[in-house]
């Protein structure tokens, strides 16, 4: 999620060396995360905007706190500018028939970050729609 932690339009930045941490709450499902969602998180941990975009269908839509980003090229640019460099902690995930809902903490560089709900619609192994909202 690239929801600004303040004014501006830039969001979510941290170091590319940071890893994704998975610390589920006691109520969180213990099963594996959907592979497309895992690819998204792994790409952020690797600092790879192209890999993040590749987790999405070619015509996918990201709704980042109301702002729409459509298509892999736009998603890659968004990720380069607002997501890559951040650190995710997966707090919970709930599988759905059409995807997964995750509760994450996103930490832009040097900050404590914020909690967010990510709703990923997934079809054929690719994210078709990602709705990102503050928790």
Residue 9 falls within a domain, yes or no? no
Structural domain includes residue 79: yes
Domain that holds residue 54: 21-28+38-128
> Is 6 within the bounds of a domain?
no
The structural domain count of the chain equals 1
- The pLDDT confidence band at residue 26, using thresholds 50, 70 and 90, is very low
From 5-9, 67-71, 86-90, 105-109, the region with the lowest mean pLDDT: 5-9
CATH code for the domain in which residue 75 is found: 3.10.450.50
Name every residue whose Cβ is closer than 8 Å to that of residue 9 and which is 6 or more positions away in sequence: none
| Segment 44-97, tens digit of pLDDT | 999 999 999 999 999 999 999 999 999 999 999 999 999 998 999 999 999 999
Which phi and psi (to 5°) does residue 74 adopt? -65, -40
């Amino acid at each position: 999620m690239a929801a600004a932690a303040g004014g501006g339009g830039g969001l979510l930045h941290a170091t590319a060396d940071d890893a994704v941490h998975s610390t589920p709450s006691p109520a969180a499902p213990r099963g594996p995360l959907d592979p497309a969602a895992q690819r998204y998180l792994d790409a952020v941990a690797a600092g790879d905007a192209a890999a993040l975009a590749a987790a999405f269908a070619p015509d996918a839509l990201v709704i980042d706190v109301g702002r729409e980003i459509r298509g892999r090229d736009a998603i890659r640019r968004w990720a380069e500018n607002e997501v890559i460099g951040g650190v995710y902690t997966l707090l919970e995930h709930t599988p759905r028939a059409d995807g997964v809902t995750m509760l994450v903490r996103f930490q832009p560089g040097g900050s404590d970050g914020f909690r967010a709900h990510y709703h990923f619609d997934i079809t054929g192994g690719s994210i078709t729609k990602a709705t990102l909202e503050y928790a």
